[in-house]
Amino acid sequence: MASSILMIIYDGIGDRPVKELDNRTPLEAAKTPNLDRMAKKGINGIMDTIAPGIIPGSDTGHLALLGYDPFKVYTGRGPFEAAGIGIEVEPGDIAFRCNFSTIEEGLITNRRAGRIKEGTKELSDSINQIDIGIDFVFQEGVEHRGVLIFKEDGLGSNVSDVDPHEEGVPYLTSKPISDNEDDTRTAEILNEFTKKSMKILSDHPVNELRVDMGERPANIVLARGSGTVPHIRSLPERTGMKCAAIAGIPLVRGVCLMAGMDIIEVDGATGGMDTDIEAIYLRAKEAMKEYDFVLVNIKGCDLSGHDGLAHEKVEFIERLDRELKILEGLEEHYIAFTGDHSTPVLVKDHSGDSLPLTIVGPQVRSDGVTSYDERSCVRGGLSRLSGQDLLNVLMDLSGHGEKFGA
């Protein structure tokens, strides 16, 4: 009987040596007795999620971890973000990421409409009433964020942003980036959307109230990052496995949804530093009974990496480690511990540095590595793996692989 697979993705865990940590990485500096025990039992290596030196986004990184070639299926963040906040997207739809912003006397004075928190649902409802000649959906996300989907055949996605990406300047007119008529049409429709939505937002009751309260009105929608919803062969179809994901952030949920995975909700899983790690591990363990493959994404390390907070990253890693005892009892299954990319605290963004990888399970060739970190795992039996190969390795180990040839 085949075992199940648990892939634990510590988002942004990889790092570089940090002076204030005595030239250790946060993972090296953190006390991680449980992860170290896994490294001792397991087979180890380092992993380039996409390719050496290629800096992954969380979306492209997870696509690779699910065995897709991001260079082939990735057209932009919009489609994944849209799927992640619950819009039903279909291959061929055009998706944009959007901000509610503030425009005053023709200039964008606040790109986030003062980080608007309330009323965006009402604003979205009104926006969805406008007529731009095609079917479309606008949906608000967290705070000032939103997603716009054009549901129409024959539209291209190679168009420039309406969002000027800075304040104190006018908004931009979207232009086709190619000579393709499909792109020209998309740009025209997007420009019409911008004008008509601005009109309906300008005297919207939500905005009148905001102005009365001394807050920034959300009186324009700035679209950016257009992308076509890709044709993706679903993971269950491709692998024959029943697949699920636990992920706090919409972008990763979107990738997993588009890959045809079930999304498991976990109370208290926020995608923030305050996320309930215990609840996530418990739910993942439970899901192993029902699914052949479960992916878990926990975000915290990435956040402290972006903020440049080395000690906070160390503490979060120690919390990830402390709760790991919950996974005891899964010894007949295969568990991988890795990340989707490095987010070094000195870079304050993602980097192409390889990631530590440990796989534990009943039949792995343990390799003498005794510590789970970037430099120790180099000496392990998996050597250097590409992210796209990880799922194949896990499927092979767990009895879900298929012979190639006779």
User: Which residues of this protein are in contact with Zn ion, per CB under 5 A?
Assistant: 11, 58, 302, 340
Q: Closest distance between Zn ion and the C-beta of residue 57, in Å?
A: 7
Query: What SS3 class is residue 371?
Result: coil
Strand 94-104, strand 355-360: pairing: unpaired
* Cα separation, 141 vs 98, whole angstroms: 9
Which tokens sit at 356?
A: 């530590």
Closest to Zn ion by CB, 292 vs 374, is: 374
Kindly give, in sequence order, each residue whose CB lies less than 8 Å from that of residue 100, ignoring residues fewer than 6 positions away. 112, 113, 116, 120, 123, 140, 144, 145, 146, 218, 220, 221
Q: Which residue is nearest to Zn ion (CB)?
A: 58
Q: Closest distance between Zn ion and the C-beta of residue 353, in Å?
A: 13
Q: Closest distance between Zn ion and the C-beta of residue 274, in Å?
A: 17
Q: Closest distance between Zn ion and the C-beta of residue 206, in Å?
A: 31
* Cα separation, 31 vs 27, whole angstroms: 8
- In single-letter form, the type of residue at position 81 comes to E
| Alpha carbon distances (Å) from 118 to 157, 203, 324 | 31, 17, 37
Closest to Zn ion by CB, 64 vs 190, is: 64
Q: Closest distance between Zn ion and the C-beta of residue 101, in Å?
A: 23
**281: buried, middle or exposed (CB in 10 Å: 19+, 13-18, 0-12)?**
buried
Closest to Zn ion by CB, 9 vs 39, is: 9
Q: Closest distance between Zn ion and the C-beta of residue 341, in Å?
A: 5
Alpha helices in 234-386 (DSSP H): 235-239, 250-258, 277-287, 300-307, 310-322
Closest to Zn ion by CB, 303 vs 385, is: 303
- Rounded to 10 degrees, the C-alpha dihedral 226/227/229/235 comes to -130
Q: Closest distance between Zn ion and the C-beta of residue 59, in Å?
A: 8
Closest to Zn ion by CB, 340 vs 374, is: 340
Closest to Zn ion by CB, 156 vs 344, is: 344
Closest to Zn ion by CB, 190 vs 259, is: 259
